[in-house]
Amino acid sequence: MAGIYVHIPFCKQKCRYCDFASFPDKIGLAESYMACVYREMAMREPQLKDYKFDTLYIGGGTPSVIDESYIAMLVAAAKKHYNLDKNAEITIEMNPGTVSASKIDMYKKAGINRFSVGLQSANDEILRDLGRVHTLNQFITCAKLLKGENFSVDIMIGLKGQSLQDISQAIEVSALYGASHVSMYALTPEDGTPVYTDYLNGELPDSDEVAEQYAFGVKKLKELGYERYEVSNFCKKGKESRHNLNYWRRGEYIGFGVSASSHIKNVRFTNTFDLDEYFKCIISNHFAVVDSEEISPEGRRDEYVMLALRTVAGVDTEEYEKLFKVLFDREYAAAIEKNKDYLNITPRRVSIKDDYLFVQNNIIIDFLEERK
Ligand code: SF4
C-alpha cells in the first residue's frame, strides 16, 4: 500500500536551523493555499484511482498553526479522492505553541489517530536560542491533552550548549507523558540558516560529541522501553511510524502542496518550493512539479539498499531477490566482505550492527560504489 503526504508551509516564526519550505509571513494565505491543495488532490485522482493508501501524513511547516477546520477538510478530501484504508494511520505534526483542546478534538473527530509533537529540547534557554515558539511547559500541556493517544515526540541533539542532562530530560519528559514514539535527530547546520554561523564559529558540538550524545540518547531511550527501528527512530512495541516505514521500504507515495515530493511507478518528482509559483500552477490547472526523474533499474536497487540499511531490520535479501531478480549476496559481495565486522549477516538479512548505525554513511557508500 502507498502513502499520502501533505505539506502545510506555515509557521509562527522561522526557527534558526530551519531550511524547510515554511513561510511565517504568509500565514494569511492559508485559506487560499488549502483550496489549492484540495484542488491538487482532485487533479491527481484519475492517475491514482487503482492505488490503495494506508497512511496520510500532514507535515510542514506547522500544520497545527492553521485553522483546524482546514485540516478536517483536508482529511475529508483525501478520503473523497483516494482509496484510503479504513484503518489508515493519519498523522499530523504539531508545534506545542500552537495547540488547544478544541483543535485536538477536531483532529480526532476528523479521523487523525497519530500526532507528532516537536519538542526538540526540554531546556527553555535552548528552545529560545533555536527560535522555537514554545516552552517546555507548553509541551507538557500539549502532551496532557494527548493523554492516551498515539503520539510521537521529536527531539534534537548536537545543539549549542546542550548537555547530556538536557537530552536525558527531553527523553524523560516524553516518556513520562506517554509518548509511544520518539524521533531523535542530530542538528544539521544547513548553509544559509542562522545556525550555520554558529557552526562556522565552532559553537556547535563536534562529531565525536554528537556521537556520544546519540549513544547516550539511545541508551536512555532503551531504558525507558523505546526500541530503535531506524537510525533516528524509536518506539514502544508495535508503534513504528507506518508512513515512514513505507519510505524506508522504497514504497510509493504521493505528495501534495509546495515542496512535496512523490514516488510513483519508479518516478520521483517534487513540487516547486515557491509558494507563488505553486498557486499559479494549481489555479491554472497545471501540476506544480519542477523536478522529475525516472529511477533506473540500478538506481532502484541502490535506493532499496541505502534505505533498508538505515533500519535495524536491514536488507531482506529474499525480498531483494524477488524484486530485482538478482542475488543480493553476489551483487554486493565486495561491500559485504569489506564491512563484515560492522554487519549482522544471516541467511535472510543483512543489517548494520547497532554500534555502527549512527556512522552508517561510509558503510552505505561502499554498498553503492562496490555493486557489481
Ligand atoms: S516549526 Fe519546523 S518548519 Fe517551522 S520554522 Fe521551525 S523547524 Fe521550520
- How much of the chain exceeds pLDDT 90, in percent? 96
Kindly give the distance from the C-alpha atom of residue 160 to the centroid of ligand 1, in angstroms, as a whole number.
Answer: 18
Residues 224 and 301 both lie in one domain: no
Binding site membership of 171 for ligand 1 (Cβ less than 6 Å): no
Residues 305 and 210 both lie in one domain: no
pLDDT, one tens digit per residue, over 239-288 is 999 999 999 999 999 999 999 999 999 999 999 999 999 999 999 999 99
Residues 217 and 335 both lie in one domain: no
Q: How far apart are CA 174 and CA 272, in angstroms?
A: 35
Assign 361 a pLDDT band (cuts: 50, 70, 90). confident
Q: What is the mean pLDDT of the chain?
A: 96
Q: Is residue 271 one of the residues assigned to a domain?
A: no
Last residue of one domain, picked from the residues 246, 279, 312: 246
> Residue 210 is part of which domain span?
2-246
Q: Is residue 275 one of the residues assigned to a domain?
A: no
Q: Is residue 92 one of the residues assigned to a domain?
A: yes
pLDDT of residue 64: 97
Tell me the CATH number at 346.
1.10.10.920
Q: Which residue's CA is the nearest one to ligand 1's atom 2?
A: 61
131 CA closest ligand 1 atom index: 6
Positions of E strands within the chain: 2-8, 52-60, 83-94, 114-120, 151-157, 181-186, 227-230, 233-235, 253-256, 261-264, 267-271, 289-294, 315-316, 343-345, 349-352
Residues 109 and 32 both lie in one domain: yes
C-alpha cell at 50: 487503482
Binding site membership of 136 for ligand 1 (Cβ less than 6 Å): no
Binding site membership of 186 for ligand 1 (Cβ less than 6 Å): no
Binding site membership of 116 for ligand 1 (Cβ less than 6 Å): no
- How much of the chain exceeds pLDDT 70, in percent? 100
Residues 160 and 242 both lie in one domain: yes
Q: Which residue's CA is the nearest one to ligand 1's atom 3?
A: 61
Q: Is residue 23 one of the residues assigned to a domain?
A: yes
Last residue of one domain, picked from the residues 211, 246, 281: 246
**Cβ–Cβ under 8 Å, residues 324 and 295:** no
Q: Residue 9 pLDDT > 80, yes or no?
A: yes
Q: Residue 216 pLDDT > 80, yes or no?
A: yes
Residues 177 and 85 both lie in one domain: yes
pLDDT of residue 372: 64
Residues 63 and 160 both lie in one domain: yes
Binding site membership of 18 for ligand 1 (Cβ less than 6 Å): yes
Q: Is 338 helix (H, G, I), strand (E, B) or coil?
A: helix
Q: What is the mean pLDDT of residues 118-138?
A: 97
Q: What is the mean pLDDT of residues 306-327?
A: 95
Q: Residue 102 pLDDT > 80, yes or no?
A: yes
14 CA closest ligand 1 atom index: 5
The residue whose grid cell reads 509557521 is: 11
Q: Residue 369 pLDDT > 90, yes or no?
A: no
- Residue 261 pairs in a beta bridge with 270
pLDDT of residue 122: 98
Q: How far apart are CA 239 and CA 183, in angstroms?
A: 12
Q: Residue 53 pLDDT > 80, yes or no?
A: yes
pLDDT of residue 52: 98
- The dihedral of CA 78, 84, 86, 90: what is its sign? negative
Q: Is residue 179 one of the residues assigned to a domain?
A: yes
pLDDT of residue 266: 97
Kindly give the distance from the C-alpha atom of residue 226 to the centroid of ligand 1, in angstroms, as a whole number.
Answer: 25
Residues 330 and 226 both lie in one domain: no
pLDDT of residue 370: 74
Kindly give the distance from the C-alpha atom of residue 352 to the centroid of ligand 1, in angstroms, as a whole number.
Answer: 31
Kindly give the distance from the C-alpha atom of residue 48 to the centroid of ligand 1, in angstroms, as a whole number.
Answer: 30
Q: Is residue 207 one of the residues assigned to a domain?
A: yes
Q: Is residue 263 one of the residues assigned to a domain?
A: no
Residues 57 and 184 both lie in one domain: yes
Domain count within the chain: 2
pLDDT, one tens digit per residue, over 188-203 is 999 999 999 999 999 9
pLDDT, one tens digit per residue, over 71-80 is 999 999 999 9
12 CA closest ligand 1 atom index: 4
pLDDT of residue 352: 96
Kindly give the distance from the C-alpha atom of residue 19 to the centroid of ligand 1, in angstroms, as a whole number.
Answer: 8
Binding site membership of 14 for ligand 1 (Cβ less than 6 Å): yes
Q: Residue 313 pLDDT > 90, yes or no?
A: yes
Binding site membership of 61 for ligand 1 (Cβ less than 6 Å): yes
pLDDT, one tens digit per residue, over 340-358 is 999 999 989 999 999 999 9
Q: Is residue 184 one of the residues assigned to a domain?
A: yes
